[in-house]
């Protein structure tokens, strides 16, 4: 087990280097001068030149990249060009928000998607299954931002049940935090729930047609125990890895949902940073997300091994 983890970590390092290079290059390819964008309506040529020097934008690209890497290795991700706030502080502020959103969305997705998948598998060929399939398809097809705006107009404006946007930390006011996050998490969970439902269904179908299930039925085990104790256990393996991977993706920030509900998370941070050509923020956040994704992948692999005893001694 330890050897597996070590190997994964070693492989992660060149991956991170590659990611950092790619994001660096992509930003430079983007049309638009960050200093000009920064200056907005105030175009004083002397100040612009000074800023370009300060942020080393006139240096050759490899030099700029090298300077950034050495900064990162010292634990300094730089400062936002726009507001001078250290990028590490921005990440520390936004990460818990996105974590909370991702966790709640994942929770809803699991609670909705997995049972629906089980039901769809068990009731294969019936109207219930068709209904579940339709729901899944809708969840995957309906755009998050449309659903979000619709929900805001209905739930917040018309019925005044929940706040329309914003974020409150659960440590400040737990219930208010739940209220502000409920709609965004639900909206975000629809696509994932649909995805989970489809995968649970096919995993369950496969498990239900296995030999050991036939044996269990022959033994006289009750249908409920067959489904939940025997089939589901085995079907869960791919689901577990899927969930961990999806969580990693959620961490990258549900950009559209955050924009619609004005949640100050990673997604919003990155989008705003790209539009204002705030290099330091984009680079720092993408690196952080890449690390998060790699960790999640590693976790997925470990979980898979843990859940499947056959792989433990591979």
Partner 1 sequence: MKLWHFKLGLCAALLAAASGAAVAQEMRIGLQEDPDVLDPHRARTYVGRIVFTSLCDKLVDVNEKLQFVPQLAQSWSWNADNTVLTFKLRTDALFHDGTKFDSAAAKANLERAMTLKESMRKGELASIAKIDTPDPQTLVLTLKQPDATLLASLSDRAGMMLSPKIFSDDIGAVGRKPICSGPYKFVERVQNDRIVLDKFDQYYDAKDFAFKRITFLPIPDTTVRLSNLRAGGLDILERMNPSDAQQVKADSSLQFAPISGLGYQQFYFNVANGERAKTNPFTDERVRRAFELTLDRNVINEVVGGGIFDPANQPFPPASPYHSDKFPIPARDIAKAKALLKEAGKEQVKAELAFGNNTTTSAIAEMVQAMAAEAGFQLSLRPTEYAALLNEAQSGNFELLMRGWSGRVDPDGNIYQFVTCKGALNDGRYCNPAVDKLLAQARTVPDEAKRKAIYDQAQEILQADAQAVYIYYQPWPFVLAKKVKGFKPYPDGMIRLRGVSFAQ
Which residues are near partner 1 by CB under 8 A?
A: 30-34, 36-47, 50-51, 54, 79-80, 82-85, 90, 93, 149, 152-153, 156-157, 160, 163-167, 259-262, 264, 268-269, 272, 275-277
- Phi, psi angles (nearest 5°) of residue 79: -125, 150
- Nearest Cα neighbor of 87 from 287, 239, 262, 230 is 287
Query: How far is C-alpha 236 from the geometric centre of its chain's CA atoms?
Result: 21
Which residues share a beta bridge with 86? 79
Q: Which phi-psi region, left, alpha or beta, contains residue 60 (left: φ > 0; alpha: ψ -120 to 50)?
A: beta
Q: How far is the CB of 170 from partner 1 (least distance, A)?
A: 15
Q: Which phi-psi region, left, alpha or beta, contains residue 94 (left: φ > 0; alpha: ψ -120 to 50)?
A: alpha
Instruction: Pick the closer one to partner 1 by CB: 137 or 153.
Output: 153
**3-state secondary structure at position 86:** strand
Q: How far is the CB of 264 from partner 1 (least distance, A)?
A: 4
Q: How far is the CB of 268 from partner 1 (least distance, A)?
A: 5
Q: How far is the CB of 174 from partner 1 (least distance, A)?
A: 18
> Alpha-carbon distance 200 to 114, whole Å?
6
On the 0-12 / 13-18 / 19+ scale of CB atoms within 10 A, 269 is buried
Instruction: Pick the closer one to partner 1 by CB: 164 or 178.
Output: 164
Instruction: Pick the closer one to partner 1 by CB: 243 or 269.
Output: 269
Q: How far is the CB of 302 from partner 1 (least distance, A)?
A: 34
Beta-carbon contacts of 186 under 8 Å, excluding residues fewer than 6 positions away, are 105, 108, 151
Q: How far is the CB of 57 from partner 1 (least distance, A)?
A: 13
Instruction: Pick the closer one to partner 1 by CB: 248 or 267.
Output: 267
Q: How far is the CB of 173 from partner 1 (least distance, A)?
A: 13
> Alpha-carbon distance 178 to 184, whole Å?
10
Instruction: Pick the closer one to partner 1 by CB: 202 or 259.
Output: 259
- Nearest Cα neighbor of 51 from 68, 64, 39, 67 is 39
> Alpha-carbon distance 218 to 213, whole Å?
8
């Amino acid at each position: 087990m330890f050897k597996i983890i070590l190997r994964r970590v070693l492989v992660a390092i060149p991956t991170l280097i590659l990611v950092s290079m790619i994001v660096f290059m992509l930003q430079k390819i983007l049309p638009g001068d960050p200093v000009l964008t920064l200056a907005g309506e105030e175009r004083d040529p002397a100040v612009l030149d000074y800023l370009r020097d300060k942020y080393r934008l006139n240096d050759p690209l490899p030099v700029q990249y090298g300077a950034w890497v050495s900064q990162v290795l010292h634990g300094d991700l730089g400062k936002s060009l726009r507001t001078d706030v250290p990028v590490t502080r921005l990440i520390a502020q936004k990460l818990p928000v996105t974590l909370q959103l991702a966790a709640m969305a994942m929770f809803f997705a699991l609670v909705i998607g997995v049972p629906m998948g089980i039901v769809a598998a068990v009731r294969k060929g019936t109207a219930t299954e068709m209904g579940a399939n339709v729901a899944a398809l809708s969840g995957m097809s309906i755009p998050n931002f449309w659903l979000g705006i619709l929900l805001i107009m209905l739930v917040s404006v018309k019925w005044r049940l929940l706040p329309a946007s914003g974020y409150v930390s659960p440590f400040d006011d737990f219930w208010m935090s739940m209220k502000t996050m409920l709609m965004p998490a639900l909206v975000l969970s629809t696509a994932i729930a649909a995805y989970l439902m489809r995968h649970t269904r096919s995993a369950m179908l496969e498990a239900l047609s296995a030999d050991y299930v036939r044996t269990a039925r022959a033994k006289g085990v009750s249908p409920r125990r067959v489904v939940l104790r025997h089939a589901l256990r085995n079907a869960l393996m791919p689901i577990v890895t899927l969930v961990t991977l999806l969580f990693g993706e959620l961490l990258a920030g549900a950009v559209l949902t955050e924009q619609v509900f004005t949640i100050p998370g990673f997604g919003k941070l990155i989008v705003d940073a790209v539009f204002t050509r705030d290099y330091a923020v984009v680079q720092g956040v993408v690196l952080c997300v890449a690390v998060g994704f790699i960790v999640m992948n590693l976790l997925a692999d470990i979980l898979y091994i843990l859940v499947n005893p056959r792989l433990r001694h591979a």
